[in-house]
């Protein structure tokens, strides 16, 4: 039975999980792959030798020299789990140039520098596998790449960041404010010490970029993608959403329009309580996918964690093992040279807009007339009194707007924001219908 050597870069939470799964389930994996090959970790590259050995890494396999794995003839594939976009890029680029396949969970690297790495893989007949980069243990990458290969993907709408989903759930169900919910997520280990990428939307957006590239075949410049996070969600927004029959979720929307253009965005949105994604809570992830042949499908599971993410890495390792055993390269390669992403300003939905305004007569009419002058239809308006401070000089005022292009909304809000009665930049949430 052929042995496939693995060079494992990183032995943190996920890296040690990969080691444990191969140790505990190695025999089962060999049986399921027909006993034609076995995968074994032959070298581990780490920064802190003492920390890695304390976590169970055999000292005899460890090195602090990342690139030495590429040169090692006993290493057939590289598994990159160190994160970041510098050292990880150098390692993956070197491996691809050496003709070695790569498994990675590094969503930020692939989303931001995939336009360099995927062509490099093609040039050197190597491959990049990245199941662990999107939605943890949910097998969405393999499903889109293989199981749904006969489908045109019409839409993928997902909750793919567990930290932001947990925070919004606690704000909704426990009545916590944003800062208290974020602190609770940190205390429970659901949020990093620096949660920036989780709460500003970019962790989810990186995953959405990869899924969109996979479904439509073109690479995406991350700078062209509209991304907003949950930092400006307030209790009043949660309250209004509930009263209107919605919940607020950090949502990634990937949709094919009738003209063939592709819509991609990530932002907190109002979604109907009747939709299945409204019941995705805690740190779980879910992706509602629609294909022209398969119809509607839902992928649900743990979006992070040692063993769920390790499970995704193992799936890619076995995929590479099969490729090496049969000399068949099955990694993803872009097949469209040009992107057809629709400009965010051309996208359309209804909107919820919250203004913080001076509490004086005439403000409602002033804002309403400014919106109407630009052709924006108002479907509802409300200005609640803050029970904690009923005598406040500034109050929140909410407008519900009919469907319009986002570009028109942005232009109009810039004018409204300049009014003397408006205290700060308006908070905007899309209202999704999923039609």
Q: Which residues are catalytic?
A: 207
Specify the pairing of strand 378-382 against strand 394-405: antiparallel
**Rounded Cα distance, 307 and 35, in Å:** 24
Interatomic CA distance for residues 239 and 171, integer angstroms:
10
Residue 80 in tokens: 């990159």
| Alpha-carbon gap, residue 264 to 347, rounded angstroms | 9
Phi first, then psi: give them for residue 33, nearest 5 degrees.
-100, 15
Task: Please give the Cα distance from 370 to 411 (Å, whole number).
Answer: 11
Note the Cα 71 to chain centre separation in Å. Answer: 33
362-373 burial: b if 16+ Cβ within 10 Å, else e: ebeebbbebbee
Break the chain down into helix, strand, coil percent, rounded to 5.
40, 25, 35
* CA 52 – CA 10 distance, rounded (Å): 9
b/e per residue, 267-300, with b = 16+ CB within 10 A?
bbbbbeeebebbebbebbbbbbbbbeeeeebebb
Q: Which residue has the tokens 């990869």?
A: 210
**Residues 6+ away with beta carbon under 8 Å from 22:** 29, 39, 40, 41, 314, 317
Please say whether the beta carbons of 408 and 401 come within 8 A: no
Q: Kindly state the tokens that stand for 14.
A: 């996920």
Torsion of CA 95, 101, 107, 113, to 10 degrees: 50
Strand segments (E) across 111-228: 128-129, 153-159, 226-227
Q: Is 401 left (phi over 0), alpha (psi -120 to 50) or beta?
A: beta
* Partners of 4 in the β-ladder: 39
> How far is Cα 128 from Cα 229, in angstroms, rounded to an integer?
29
CB 406 within 8 A of CB 347: yes
């Amino acid at each position: 039975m052929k042995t496939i050597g693995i060079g494992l870069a990183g032995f943190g939470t996920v890296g040690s999980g990969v080691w444990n799964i191969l140790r505990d389930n190695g025999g089962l994996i060999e049986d399921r792959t027909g006993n034609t090959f076995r995968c074994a970790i032959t070298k581990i590259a780490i920064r802190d030798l003492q920390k890695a050995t304390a976590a169970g890494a055999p000292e005899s396999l460890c090195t602090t020299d990342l690139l030495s794995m590429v040169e090692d003839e006993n290493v057939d594939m590289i598994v990159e789990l160190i994160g970041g976009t510098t050292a990880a890029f150098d390692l993956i680029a070197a491996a691809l140039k050496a003709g070695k396949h790569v498994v990675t969970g590094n969503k930020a690297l692939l989303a931001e520098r995939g336009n360099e790495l995927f062509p490099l893989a093609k040039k050197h007949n190597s491959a990049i596998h990245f199941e662990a980069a999107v939605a943890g243990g949910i097998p969405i990458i393999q499903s889109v790449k293989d199981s749904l290969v006969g489908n045109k993907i019409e839409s993928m709408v997902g909750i793919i960041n567990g930290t932001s989903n947990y925070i919004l759930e606690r704000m909704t169900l426990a009545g916590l404010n944003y800062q208290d919910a974020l602190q609770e997520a940190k205390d429970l280990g659901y949020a990093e010490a620096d949660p920036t990428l989780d709460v500003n939307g970019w962790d989810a957006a990186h995953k959405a970029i990869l899924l969109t590239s996979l479904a439509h075949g073109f690479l995406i410049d991350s700078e062209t993608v509209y991304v907003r996070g949950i930092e400006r969600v307030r209790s009043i927004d949660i309250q209004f959403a509930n009263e209107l029959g919605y919940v607020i979720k950090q949502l990634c929307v990937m949709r094919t329009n009738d003209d063939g253009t592709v819509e991609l965005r990530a932002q907190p949105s109002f979604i109907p309580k009747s939709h299945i994604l409204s019941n995705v809570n805690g740190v779980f992830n879910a992706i509602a996918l629609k294909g022209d042949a398969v119809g509607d499908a839902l992928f649900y599971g743990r979006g992070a964690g040692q063993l769920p993410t390790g499970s995704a890495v193992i799936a890619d390792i076995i995929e590479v093992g099969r490729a090496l055993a049969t000399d068949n390269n099955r990694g993803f390669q872009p097949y469209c040279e040009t992107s057809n992403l629709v400009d965010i300003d051309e996208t359309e939905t209804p909107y919820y807009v919250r203004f913080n305004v001076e509490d004086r007569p005439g403000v409602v009419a002033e804002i309403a007339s400014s919106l109407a002058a630009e052709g924006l239809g108002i479907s509802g308006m409300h200005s609640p009194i803050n029970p904690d401070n009923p005598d406040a000089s500034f109050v929140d005022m909410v407008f519900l707007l009919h469907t319009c292009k986002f570009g028109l909304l942005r232009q109009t809000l810039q004018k409204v924001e300049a009014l003397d009665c408006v205290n700060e930049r308006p908070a905007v949430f899309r209202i999704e219908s999923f039609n």
